[in-house]
Structure 1
Amino acid sequence: MMMRQRGLTLIELVVSMVIIGIAVVGILKVMEITTRHSADPMIQHQAVAIAEAYLEEILTKSYDAGPGTGTRDQFDDVDDYRNLPDTVVRDQFGNAIAGLGDYAVTVAIADTALDGVNVKRVDVTVTHSTLVNMTITGYRADY
């Protein structure tokens, strides 16, 4: 009894290699995109933490204690932070924080009123070389 041989033709082999090649390229592309953006959540989380720290520091100061002078550790009211540009993230004493050199912070303060109460709107914007600006806002009331 003669057994019939089974196998693949050359055309079938070439077609399957092309299909497998396309699939591998697609998988590698997805992995490359995922790897490239894997640090984004960490950068965003750090930016939020920095912005919240600045906002908390500012909002704990008095509404208005008169014209401010001096260094950051001498700031005693919200207006002292007006137009504060920190090209390097700093603590409340003005010391640069190691490891956060890629971030920059700006503070904008605007006088406004909410329901007849004088408030200062505080916008803290944190930027990073690979992140669009992230801004958080808080209000300090004159009570």
Structure 2
Amino acid sequence: MRLPSTRRRAQRSRQRGLSLIELVMFIVVVGVALAAVLRVFAQATAASADPQLQRQALAIAESLLEEVQLMPFTFCDPDDANLASASSTAGCASLTEAIGREGSEGRFSTPQFDNVNDYHGYQMSGIVDISNTAVPGLSGYSAQVTVQAASLGSLGAASGEVLRITVQVTGPAGTSATLDGYRTRHAPNAAL
């Protein structure tokens, strides 16, 4: 039995597939969509290093802030004979502790920093660890420390019982991180 010619034509047209024009249009549409998706991926990849730079600057600032906060905070210089018994700067034999380094003290030199406030004004360009060894990959960063009297709760800045430590780190591509921390004097002459 033969099908009528219109039915045969309808069956053939259903079985034919895509025309050349339809195929070209499909390729163009997919190409444009793929280009847009690849552009988004390229921008995300190019900016992916930025958070790493910021995290590195923050890690440097945290490390340096912790180093400073762990130093003693005393009325007298740790080389003073009355260090352990002084309950104010008047109790020091001769070496009172003040904001800033005393003489030739340094982070790595002899004599070394021996009190929190010795770090005031400390700067480094290219990050080095506590043993003065350059940390690989951090030569593009710099850090600066500021230590100043501060108020905290019921303690006023004039009391001399609180120090505010600010660490500023700058790095590649304008990266920066600033952290503040406080160091308080506990008991009459704490943190020996």
TM-score normalised by the chain length of structure 2 = 0.64
**1:18 corresponds to:** 28
Deviates more, 1:94-103 or 1:75-84: 94-103
Q: Secondary structure at the match of 1:96?
A: coil
**1:111 corresponds to:** 149
Q: Distance in 2 between matches of 1:16 and 1:85?
A: 61
Task: List runs of 5+ in structure 1 lacking aligned partners.
Answer: none
**2:82 corresponds to:** none
**1:59 corresponds to:** 69
Counterpart contact for 2:143–2:167, Cα < 8 Å: yes
Q: Secondary structure at the match of 1:98?
A: coil
Q: Distance in 1 between matches of 2:67 and 2:132?
A: 12
Deviates more, 1:112-121 or 1:81-90: 112-121
Query: What is the letter of the counterpart of residue 34 of structure 1?
Result: A
Query: What is the letter of the counterpart of residue 105 of structure 1?
Result: A
Q: Secondary structure at the match of 1:72?
A: coil
Task: List runs of 5+ in structure 2 lacking aligned partners.
Answer: 78-96, 187-192
Query: What is the letter of the counterpart of residue 43 of structure 2?
Result: I
Q: Secondary structure at the match of 2:150?
A: strand
Deviation string 1:1-50 (CA, Å, 9 cap, x unpaired) is: 64336343454334322321221111111221222133334333322221
Q: How many residues align?
A: 143
Q: Percent identity at matched positions?
A: 36
**1:82 corresponds to:** 120
Higher strand share: 1
Q: Distance in 2 between matches of 1:94 and 1:140?
A: 24
Structure with higher Rg: it is: 2
Counterpart contact for 2:163–2:184, Cα < 8 Å: yes
Q: CA deviation at 1:62?
A: 2.0
2:37 corresponds to 1:27: yes
**1:46 corresponds to:** 56
Counterpart contact for 2:142–2:169, Cα < 8 Å: yes
CA RMSD of aligned residues (A): 2.3
Q: Distance in 1 between matches of 2:148 and 2:36?
A: 50
**1:91 corresponds to:** 129
Q: CA deviation at 1:131?
A: 5.1
